[in-house]
Amino acid sequence: MSYNLYNINISKISVIGAGQIGPDIALHFAKALSPYNVKINVIDISPTALENAQGRVFKKIQKGLETGAFKVPQADKMKESLNFSEDYQNVKGSELVIEAATEDENIKDKIFRQVESLTDDNCIYLSNSSHMQPEVIFRNISKKSRCLVAHYFFPAEINPVVEIVPGADTNNSLVENLLKFYENIGKVPIKVKSSYGYAIDPIFEGICQTAIRCLEKEMGTVKEIDAAAVKALGLGVGPFTALNLTGGNPITAHGLDEMGKLVLPWFKTPEILKEKTANKEKWDTAQRGEIVTISSEKESVLIKEFQSSYFALTSFILDTGIVDIDDLNMACELSLVIKPPFAFMNSIGIGYVYDWVKSYCFNNPDFKFPEILNKANTEGGWKLSDIKTEIKSNVLVVTIRRPKVLNALNLEVLEQIKGALESEKNNSNVKSVVITAFGVKAFVSGADLNMLSSLKTPEEGYNNSHTFQAVLNYIENYPKPVVCALNGFAFGGGNELAMSCTARIAKKGLPILMCQPEVNLGFIPGAGGTQRLPRLIGINKAAEILRSARNVSSKEALELGYIYKEADENLIDEAIELAKKIAEGEIKVKSISKEQFYKGETPENIEIGHLSKKIDEIMINSIYEGAKLTLEQGLDYESRMFGECLNTQDMKIGLENFKTNGPRAKANFVNK
């Protein structure tokens, strides 16, 4: 048994380097690939490093057991899949080798020349370098088409982002397959063109340089500067703390001077960083729980400095053309735990940002003003999108990509989907559409609850529901077939989006495929759930699912007629094939009736447990009264019933409970 998908066939992986990040990369591979019986070797010439690495990895697995992240069989299988060895001969038979050794081009070159002598021509070579171009690392490898950088971020088993950096000779198909491979094993890969430092590290190290320069200028203490940076940029931890946690002083000290030579003269290693590195000293950062006080005047100056440099850095990276704006916006937020730069600039106002960066570049002559900011300023802001589109075999494939929130829907995303469909409506080369989402866990986790929490009156609720419904109605009535490819679970608004499509296809064997969980939060579906689900699978079965908020597996969904089929292998390819056959008339799928369909059914008694009786009453009303109407009338009725939920105490209780205690905590409804 092996992993085999997207032309990536793997039964054995070797990770070279048992230092800071290699073991964590191996741990992630073990978690994702041990179910396929893939073996993961960790190779190092140091027995001590290997012993420490194994101890650290097994300790993390044990912690996962204690927290419930892993079950015992899974943890055991992960441990069994891992092998820690000094013997380079164990690299033999590997289909993928990833090097995570010291950031030294000669060491990396030596490693890969040795690896090349032990592996065949089909083995994929990856380097987890944080700075060096693949052309430098793989300069002596004979078959450079299989060589590229896969840059992980700390901690590698948790941080989702991986920069995929091909060299000049890397095979394009391999790059695309690796992007899919990493997505399929739970990472968020972005493609970056070859450049020293790639896309993210110049931003992180530039922020660190900004912090150290503020220290040198006596603009604050280490603790004050850290605190101001967190407030200015929404960081998880300040730059000095991040350097301490990652052991990043040596890499940053080396990287800044090199970036000054190869990327932008503004980058330069501060003397104090050189001293800290030489003396192996950490920064004097705040301890856990320590409160750092800073004067408002000092804080204001530091915040402006950090925001100006951050906006200048991210605009500069985009200006180089090495990365897509949506990739960079997303990857900064996920990898650095920071506010997404271009969305952040838009929220402040591009005119203000333009002036700040102009001033910053004037005061820092080595920092060339990013020309792309001129365009953004002229256009009134950055153009961002949470969807990706491509046309494959005359089928428009629309992919929702919001991994931080498991692809949760808001009105902006729905309008982007509508816009993508509208742009290809009259394109005779596009015969049908597939709507899917990024990742393997969720198609769409539901609607954005921040948006729902902002609703105050029944009228606002009605209007919000109607706005959602308008986009889904557009999809339902689109003149070309629209197939929903459910790559993971569809909750709430995601399920309602799926039901507006012509047909649905799901990844095979999903224990949880769909659910309408709204009653757990004290309201009813508002984007068609109470009207389309009954018309699709029958009123009483739909009512039971809607009122209980229970999960439905892909197997049950197929039996109910909710999905057309379960995909055996490649979900998107099968969805495209289905969409084409529907368009060509080769396959007929059941459509949702738009007429009245009530046949005298009455609500069944079901156990709703702790759920609100008041919301259940509204739900029953929406389902059974809506069935007596046409679909158009029923949807309007659902919107009114959704608005009614805002008159209840239980909707406020449900949303507040979710925000405070999370999705698993039961709300204490009062049935009013």
Q: Which positions are catalytic?
A: 496, 518
- Within 10 angstroms of residue 494's Cβ, the number of other Cβ atoms is 29
**3-state SS string over 418-447?**
HHHHHHCCCCCCCCEEEEEECCCCEEECCE
Number of H helices, E strands in the chain: 27, 19
3-state secondary structure of 489: strand
Q: Label residues 89-99 b or e (16+ Cβ within 10 Å = b).
A: ebbbebbbbbb
Q: Which amino acid is at 492?
A: G
DSSP state of 409: B
- Cα–Cα dist 502/481, whole Å: 6
Helix, strand, coil percentages (3-state) for the chain, rounded to 5, are: 50, 15, 35
- The neighbouring-strand residues paired with 96 are 13, 124
- E strand residue ranges, 96-173: 96-99, 124-127, 147-152, 161-166
3-state secondary structure of 56: helix
Question: What's the gap between Cα 11 and its chain centre?
Answer: 27
Pull the structure tokens for residue 476: 């339902």
Q: Label residues 374-404 b or e (16+ Cβ within 10 Å = b).
A: eebbeeebbeebbbbbeeeeebbbbbbbbbe
